[in-house]
Amino acid sequence: MKSVPATPPVFILCGGQGSRLREETEILPKPMLRIGDRPILWHIMKIYAAHGLKRFVLALGYKGYAIREYFLNYRAHVLDAQFRLGEPHRAVFDGKLEEEDWEVTLAETGPETQTGGRLIRAARYLEAPEFCLTYGDGVGNVDLKRLLEFHRSHGKIATVTGVLPPGRFGELVVGRDGAASEFNEKLQTSGGRISGGFFVFRREFLERYLAGKGEDCVLENEPLRRLAADGQLMVHPHDGFWQPMDTYREWKLLNDLWKSGQAPWKAW
């Protein structure tokens, strides 16, 4: 029996329309919205790369051409360049890419395809017995080495990272007289865990839970619900930082953290 490779590929779902950030996503797909001077997608890939996971399959959809252009012309986006205007193809780039050993597959999965359908269409690029999967709009300081170790230890088909939901509003502690005794603008609540993405799957998931389904398959509905009902979905708890970017407020929060030099997800 072949041993499980130490570095499974990372599938990132990049095709959603980001309707709650409509003013920005009318121009760019949500994974290309910038935190600092780089797209959030780059930040997500850097998180994985910091743990040695550098093989990426980007499942493209809505405005996927923007993601294609960024990575196909990556050196031009991040390095200084010298060239004659009449000969741009002969540009000389100054500097070395930190990401030069990344392997990136740009997989077109359709503008209207749902999350499960995107994985189904991109699965033709899966050659390993296991793979990682996450969304192109959330970051966290998830210990991916521990996540993989946990996944391989329990023998089930899948593992999801269970996070504490970020608090969207300030918490008020109110006394009997109606006066606020505390106001806490906290990042997390103390409620139950939710899915934070950062999944690990055995290839068997595709064959048992996605076979025969089409582009309208929503990963988070029937496939994952049935997986859980079968006792094949394990939760790896993550009590550290995790933040999605669903709203303008959350986008601004991530940018403010990055500008402060205290971005918790920066593992590189």
Q: What's the pLDDT score for residue 123?
A: 96
One digit per residue, pLDDT tens: the chain, 268 residues? 445 556 899 999 999 887 778 777 788 999 999 999 999 999 999 999 999 999 999 999 999 999 999 999 999 999 999 999 999 888 999 988 999 999 999 999 999 999 999 999 999 999 999 999 999 999 999 999 999 999 999 999 999 999 988 765 444 444 565 454 445 555 554 557 889 999 999 999 999 999 999 999 999 999 999 999 999 999 999 999 999 999 999 999 999 999 999 999 999 9
Specify which residues 94 forms β-bridges with: 80
Q: What's the pLDDT score for residue 26?
A: 82
Q: Is 2 within the bounds of a domain?
A: no
Q: Is 102 within the bounds of a domain?
A: yes
Q: What's the pLDDT score for residue 47?
A: 98
Q: Is 197 within the bounds of a domain?
A: yes
Q: Is 264 within the bounds of a domain?
A: no
**Count of structural domains within the chain:** 1
- Beta carbons within 8 Å of 48's beta carbon, 6+ residues apart: 10, 54, 56, 132, 144
Vertex 144, ends 253 and 59: CA angle to 5°?
70
Determine phi and psi for 123, rounding to 5 degrees. Answer: -65, -15
Q: Is 173 within the bounds of a domain?
A: no
Burial class (CB in 10 A: 0-12, 13-18, 19+), 89: exposed
Which CATH number covers residue 27? 3.90.550.10
Q: Is 26 within the bounds of a domain?
A: yes
- The whole domain housing 119 covers 10-164+193-259
Q: Is 174 within the bounds of a domain?
A: no
Burial class (CB in 10 A: 0-12, 13-18, 19+), 78: middle
Q: Is 232 within the bounds of a domain?
A: yes
